[in-house]
């Protein structure tokens, strides 16, 4: 049978059409809006934005929170990915369910749940007082710590799953081979497992970072208006302040930041894992 390969591309047409209408066009409009001055094209809006120290604080907040959430997810998720990949049978099914099922719960629901957990009389506070870490109950809600902990919980699966999919394919005998070549466990980990899981780590970082740099609901509910990130500021600009100019600028800055970091990290990974 003869298949015309050029026709296969048309199968993507519905999706391309759909995304163009609902995604590319509005995004293009947003970008265009941010580069519009009083009389046509101008970068005056960006100039004003970057001249304001408040903007820098917002950018700092955004990157700091996203960075901390990403690191926390990586530290917690990496071992879990291994446990998941090495588990067998029922244990693996239970672990997978525990990781994937929470994804079906809405972010709003989870954020409200964290509000309860992080309250002054919440579980965390009571526990820490109970074991003597804190001398009196404290409120984690509306703090940066609370935000990072809550966001890490929501985004953890997006770190675990890409790493898991890579670990699953790694032959456990590679570490044994390293051992029989006289290489100790720590060095073996960095020279074999770490390098081989790097592609998974990078996709995990890219997922979690781009999700947490642009999260809106979670900071709105867990830290509130006092603490602004690029995403919440964009939301406020459009929804509350009706300031399209500011909103389009913050949205553009956010987009550029996220895309840059994802591109740089995947470039670094490709260099590190040459054959991987």
Partner 1 sequence: MIEPFLEVRNAQKNFGPTTVLDGVTLGVTKGEFVSLLGPSGCGKTTLLRIIAGLTGADVGDVRLDRQDITKLPPHKRDVGVVFQNYALFPHLSVLENISFGLKGRVAKDEATRIAGRFLELVHMRDFADRSVRALSGGQQQRVAVARALAVAPKLLLLDEPFSALDRKLRETMQIELKRLLRELGTTAIFVTHDQDEALVMSDRIAVMNQGRIEQLDTPEALYQNPATSFALQFVGLSTRIFGEVIGQQDGNGILIETRHGVIRAQGNFVRGSKVVIGVRPERISLGAHEGQNSITPQLTDIVFQGARVQVHFASTENEPIILESSARLPASLAPGEAVSISWAPEDTLVFPREASA
Task: Give the binding site for partner 1 (CB under 8 A).
Answer: 171, 173-174, 176-185, 187-188, 191-192, 195-196, 273-276
Judged by beta carbon, residue 41 or residue 275, the one nearer partner 1 is: 275
Q: For residue 238, which of 226, 228, 227, 246 has the smallest C-alpha distance?
A: 246
Contact 242, 67 (CB under 8 A): no
Strand, coil or helix: 227: coil
Min dist CB 173 to partner 1, Å, is 4
**Comparison of 60 and 172: residue with beta carbon closer to partner 1:** 172
Structure tokens at 123: 């579980």
Round to whole Å and give the CA distance between 164 and 52: 43
Closest to partner 1 by CB, 196 vs 202, is 196
Nearer to partner 1, 120 or 270 (CB): 270
- Bridge partners, residue 40, by sequence: 37
Euclidean distance between the first and final Cα of the chain, in Å? 36
Q: How far is the CB of 274 from partner 1 (least distance, A)?
A: 7
Q: How distant, in Å, are the alpha carbons of 12, 13, 66, 134 from that of 145?
A: 43, 45, 12, 15
Shortest separation between residue 182's beta carbon and partner 1, angstroms = 5
* Nearer Cβ to partner 1 (5/274): 274
Smallest separation (angstroms) from partner 1 to the CB of 188: 8
Q: How far is the CB of 95 from partner 1 (least distance, A)?
A: 23
Nearest to 200 by CA among 166, 155, 150, 227: 166
Q: Which is nearer to partner 1, 58 or 166 (CB)?
A: 166
Instruction: In angstroms, give the least distance from the CB of 163 to partner 1.
Output: 16
Non-local (6+) Cβ contacts of 147 within 8 A are 65, 218, 219, 222, 223, 227
């Amino acid at each position: 049978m003869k298949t015309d390969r050029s026709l296969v591309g048309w199968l993507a047409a519905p999706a391309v059409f759909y995304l163009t209408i609902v995604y590319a066009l509005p995004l293009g409009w947003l970008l265009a809006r941010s580069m519009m001055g009083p009389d046509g094209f101008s970068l005056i809006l960006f100039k004003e934005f970057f001249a304001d120290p408040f903007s820098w604080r917002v950018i700092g907040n955004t990157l700091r929170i996203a960075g901390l959430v990403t690191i926390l997810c990586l530290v917690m998720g990496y071992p879990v990915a291994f446990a998941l990949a090495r588990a067998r049978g029922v244990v693996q099914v239970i672990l997978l369910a525990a990781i994937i099922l929470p994804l079906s719960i809405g972010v709003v629901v989870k954020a409200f749940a964290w509000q309860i957990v992080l309250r002054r009389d919440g579980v965390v506070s009571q526990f820490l007082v109970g074991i003597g870490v804190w001398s009196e109950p404290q409120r984690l809600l509306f703090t940066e710590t609370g935000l990072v902990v809550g966001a890490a919980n929501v985004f953890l699966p997006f770190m675990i799953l890409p790493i898991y999919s890579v670990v699953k394919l790694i032959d456990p005998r590679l570490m044994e081979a390293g051992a029989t070549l006289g290489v100790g466990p720590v060095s073996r980990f960095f020279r074999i497992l770490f390098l081989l899981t790097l592609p998974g780590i990078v996709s995990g970082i890219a997922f979690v970072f781009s999700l947490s740099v642009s999260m809106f609901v979670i900071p709105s509910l867990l830290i509130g208006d006092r603490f602004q990130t690029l995403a919440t500021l964009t939301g406020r600009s459009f929804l509350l302040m009706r300031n399209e100019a500011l909103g389009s600028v913050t949205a553009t800055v956010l987009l550029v930041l996220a895309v840059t970091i994802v591109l740089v990290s995947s470039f670094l990974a490709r260099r590190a894992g040459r054959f991987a």
